[in-house]
Amino acid sequence: METKISLLTAKKKKAVVEKYNIVNNSSLILKMEDRNKKRMHAVVLGEYLQDHRHLIQGKKVLELGAGTGLAGMVAAALGADVIVTERESAMPHLTSTVLANSPNRKHWKIKASVLDWTQPIHYKTYSDVDVVLGADIIYIEETFKDLLKVLMSLTHNRIVQVLLSCKIRYDRDRNFLKMMEEHFSINEIYEDHSRHIKILSLQRL
């Protein structure tokens, strides 16, 4: 990666505030709810986007399971029109993080909204989406079927590109990839060897 997202951490007693340097000498402040949670998948995906901005510049981008919205905010900083999404319970944290980072960035096009994988979505609702992002969303087996359904709905028009940063650690992860291979052509387009994180590009068959 050429344009690293570096972590300049300022620790407070209870909450941990992380500050990330991103493109154009700007930075993102993320308030962490849990000190032990790592943002490495989002960082790797963000770095990949910074180095391949043509994939998202001027495009409509939707991030699934956005957490703090790091990858989505990097996409907004690069000129994409972004929707960062989460399940209802995670929305307050996502919304406040996006709002906290937006005030001086009038040029950003970004909004946060609920997209719960367990709820059916109509493909027309997101028919203008060009690129779907997901950082570390292949992680709980119980969610795999729902996640696959959501990915299928979002790629209904077949032109949409899906970019996932993930660690393929366990048999269950490999099984999920097999499930996806029935519907998507999957290419491993990058690997961060030090963090053992891959970026997969999915295109609907």
Ligand X SMILES: C[S@@+](CC[C@H](N)C(=O)[O-])C[C@H]1O[C@@H](n2cnc3c(N)ncnc32)[C@H](O)[C@@H]1O
Is 131 or 137 the residue whose CB approaches ligand X more closely? 137
**Tokens 């505030």, residue located:** 17
Q: Residue 81 Cβ, how far from ligand X at the closest point, in Å?
A: 19
Residues 6+ apart with CB under 8 A from 77: 22, 23, 24, 26, 105, 108
Q: CA-to-CA distance for 2 and 15, rounded, in angstroms?
A: 31
Is 36 or 104 the residue whose CB approaches ligand X more closely? 36
Q: Residue 64 Cβ, how far from ligand X at the closest point, in Å?
A: 7
Q: Residue 142 Cβ, how far from ligand X at the closest point, in Å?
A: 9
Is 3 or 143 the residue whose CB approaches ligand X more closely? 143
How does DSSP assign 34-73, residue by residue?
A: -TT---HHHHHHHHHHHHTGGGTTTSEEEEES-TT-HHHH
Interacting residues with ligand X (CB under 6 A): 39, 41-42, 65-68, 86-87, 90, 116-118, 135-137, 139, 143, 146
Q: Residue 26 Cβ, how far from ligand X at the closest point, in Å?
A: 19
Q: How many CB atoms lie within 10 A of CB 171?
A: 9
Q: CA-to-CA distance for 102 and 187, rounded, in angstroms?
A: 33
Is 5 or 42 the residue whose CB approaches ligand X more closely? 42
